[in-house]
Structure formats: structure tokens, C-alpha cells
Amino acid sequence: MPHVPGLRSVYSKVGRLIYFGRMLDKIRLHAAGQLPADYVANLGTAQFYTLDGRCCRFLGINYDELRARTLTGGTDEELLAWAHAHGTFRTDEECHMWNRFILKLGWRDERTAVLPQRIHDSGLEGKPIETIIDHIEYDEGRDPVATRAWENI
């Protein structure tokens, strides 16, 4: 998939968390009719393994409520504060573990089996892709290995 204007990298942080801001971007882009169709199936929590679902379960919030709150407006930091106030309290250590968990999805876990097919389907054979997040980044035209993106979280 090509770069999607307004959709940030998985590595971008809001507060202590990676991915959360990207989920907000997807909510906003979808509401504006600007999210590519290939991304729509992975919105929310309908599928257990979606990153949106994992993030909402980690935060202890309902995706539909987050979506509604996001569409009323506010900064990313305000939306994260809302999530913390309405969900499960998370320590700095838990947030660090969340970040590291997300970055390693697809490496020796339940998502390992789908990664080779994703790489093939997107024509990214030969790239140093070891995780689902590597795939997302390369698929959208970013090179997390060259930038060593994991060092900034």
C-alpha cells in the first residue's frame, strides 16, 4: 500500500504509547472518507488480532466509545487522557512492555505464519522484514531499519 497522507508511523508516540496516534489517525481518516479500503477491515475490534483491538484491550477501553470521543475533537494527548480516565490504569513499565510487544508482533508468535504471505502479497521480498510492524512500515514507504526507528521509543 502506498503512503497514506495523514496516517502516521506505528512508531510515533502519543504520551507513553506507540500506535495509539495511528489508531486515532485511522478513525479520523475513515470518518472523512480518506482511509483506503484496504485499511477499513482492520478498524476496531471485530477481528481479534487487529492492532486497534489490541490497543483498546490494553487500555481497557471500548473502541466505539474511543471512536465517538475522537470524532468530537481534541488533541491526541487529550484523547489519550480520556482513554486513561475511562480505561485501565497502566504504569510506565506496562506501557514500555506494550511498546515492545507491538514492535515484535510476527516474530516467533501467533502472527509469524501470516507474515511471509503479507510480504509476498505486497511485493516486499528481500526487505529485512522480521515483524508485522516492519511490514507495515515498508509497505507504506518507510524504512524502519535504515532509520533505526525502534531507538526512538
Residue-wise pLDDT for 62-75, tens only, equals 999 999 999 999 99
| Prediction pTM value | 0.94
The pLDDT of residue 147 is above 80: yes
Determine contact, residues 103/133, Cβ cutoff 8 Å.
yes
Q: State the pLDDT confidence band at 2, using cuts at 50, 70 and 90.
A: low
User: In whole angstroms, how large is the CA radius of gyration of the chain?
Assistant: 15
H/E element, 14: strand 13-14
CA 79 to chain centre: 15
**90-109 pLDDT, tens per residue?**
999 999 999 999 999 999 98
Three-class SS of residue 62? coil
Confidence of residue 1 (pLDDT cuts 50, 70, 90): low
Q: Check: CB of residue 149 under 8 Å from CB of residue 22.
A: no
Average pLDDT, the chain: 94
Q: Are 12 and 27 in contact (CB under 8 A)?
A: no
Which of the four pLDDT bands, split at 50, 70 and 90, describes residue 14? very high
Q: How confident is the model at residue 46 (pLDDT cuts 50, 70, 90)?
A: confident
Note the pLDDT of residue 29: 98
CA 132 to chain centroid? 10
Question: What does the block give as the cell for 45?
Answer: 475490534
Q: Which residue has the cell 521480498?
A: 125
Q: Scanning the structure block, which residue is given the C-alpha cell 508482533?
A: 105
